[in-house]
Amino acid sequence: RITETQWIWRDGHFIPWADATIHVLSHSVQFGSSAFEGIRAYSTPKGPAIFRLREHLERLLHSCKIYRMDVPYTLDELFEASREVVARNGVESCYLRPMVVRGYGTAGMVPIGAPVETYLPCWPWGAYLGDEALDAGVDACISSWQRVQPNTIPAMAKIAGNYLSGQLIKMEAIANGYAEGIALSPSGVVSEGSGQNVFMVSKGTIITTPLDGSILGGITRHTIMQLAADAGIPVRELHIPREMLYMADEVFFTGTAAELTPVRSIDRITIGAGRVGPITKQLQTEYLGIAKGQLEDRHGWLTHCR
């Protein structure tokens, strides 16, 4: 369940949480056309800090651009509004969910005539795959659902409708006793989780899926690739056949919600030693250390809110 906060920013104003409602016939409700983001603010010794806010807002505006949604705000305006909504709600750490919605006003599928509305809610949210997952890892499966073909529904846009695929993957995984599913791409190689990118480690090299039109360009993915490069760990972007995951020394998920979650088994096949591996642990410690203000923010990834 969502833990409510007091205020939501909507189109330049702060409105009470309960007032952020839209009509059932809003375009986005009927046709899945809202663009959104998922961003975390962490508690740091200097108060709450939003992790990689600028990159998330850039991706939001790119998603809108792909879908020809005219957002009447600049990145800088959304940046300040995001800082303010965290500060005003008095939360130490939270999840921010910016949403650009096509509202009420058109009967048909073509959105001409439907207004574009922008919302910035935030609320406290703990570990996405459970508190234990970050330490112990999760059991995942290869999903029977594949991702969409490139040039059908664009995977690089973070749009509500894309998450029909994620929901099928996640519900199937849970129904079969797994924490998460890994989808294959239309060509049958590894794509991504329901809301995470996938990484593997083999003989000291980190391997992840390229931006091939079947995955979201994850900001945590970029963070981990940067941290690995900083640490002198080789990183390669390669198409990964599913059996390479079974053969890997380590596998992990990355995502704003999932953070860096180790995967200890896939399809009941143990990965490596079946517990968090050394490179996974090193990168997780570094990533969360920077996000929580315990390690130096050498890439300028943190935005303090007050």
Q: Strands, E, within 88-137: which ranges?
A: 94-96, 99-102, 116-120, 122-123
Strand partners, 154: none
Which of 5, 220, 280, 303 touches ligand PMP (CB under 6 A)? Answer: 220
Q: Does 209 bind ligand PMP (CB under 6 A)?
A: no
Nearer to ligand PMP, 181 or 277 (CB): 181
Residue tagged 């091939």 (tokens): 212
State the nearest-atom distance from the C-beta of 99 to ligand PMP, in Å: 13
Residue tagged 């570990």 (tokens): 127
| Whether residue 158 lies in the annotated active site | yes
Take residue 222 and report the two structure tokens written for it: 């970029």
The Cα 96–Cα 12 span in angstroms is 16
DSSP code per residue over 37-83:
--EEEEEETTEEEEETHHHHHHHHHHHHHHTT---SS-HHHHHHHHH
Listed ranges 61-69, 81-89, 123-131, 190-198: which one lies at the site for ligand PMP (CB under 6 A): 190-198
Which of 57, 71, 148, 216 touches ligand PMP (CB under 6 A)? Answer: 216
State the nearest-atom distance from the C-beta of 25 to ligand PMP, in Å: 27
Which of 98, 121, 181, 218 touches ligand PMP (CB under 6 A)? Answer: 218
State the nearest-atom distance from the C-beta of 155 to ligand PMP, in Å: 8
CB atoms within 10 A of CB 84: 16
State the nearest-atom distance from the C-beta of 258 to ligand PMP, in Å: 8
Write out the binding residues for ligand PMP, residues 15-54 only, by CB under 6 A. Answer: 38
Count of residues that bind ligand PMP according to CB under 6 A: 14
Nearer to ligand PMP, 38 or 150 (CB): 38
The Cα 291–Cα 281 span in angstroms is 15
Which of 26, 34, 197, 209 touches ligand PMP (CB under 6 A)? Answer: 197
State the nearest-atom distance from the C-beta of 215 to ligand PMP, in Å: 6
CA distances from residue 83 to 86, 100, 279, 289 in whole angstroms, order as listed: 5, 17, 33, 21
Which of 5, 34, 202, 256 touches ligand PMP (CB under 6 A)? Answer: 256
Residue tagged 């409700």 (tokens): 29
CA distances from residue 19 to 7, 105, 107, 121, 132 in whole angstroms, order as listed: 9, 19, 24, 12, 35
- Judge whether 69 and 85 are in contact, CB under 8 Å: no
Q: Does 181 bind ligand PMP (CB under 6 A)?
A: no
Over the window 69 to 108, marking each residue x when it contacts ligand PMP by CB under 6 A and - when it does not, the resulting string is ----------------------------------------
Q: Of the residues 158, 203, 281, 292, which is catalytic?
A: 158
State the sign of the Cα–Cα–Cα–Cα dihedral 209, 206, 37, 54.
negative
State the nearest-atom distance from the C-beta of 58 to ligand PMP, in Å: 11
The Cα 279–Cα 202 span in angstroms is 10
Which of 117, 139, 180, 192 touches ligand PMP (CB under 6 A)? Answer: 192
Q: Does 219 bind ligand PMP (CB under 6 A)?
A: yes
The Cα 119–Cα 14 span in angstroms is 10
Active-site amino acid positions: 158
Which residues lie near ligand PMP (CB under 6 A)? 38, 166, 192, 195-197, 216, 218-221, 254-256
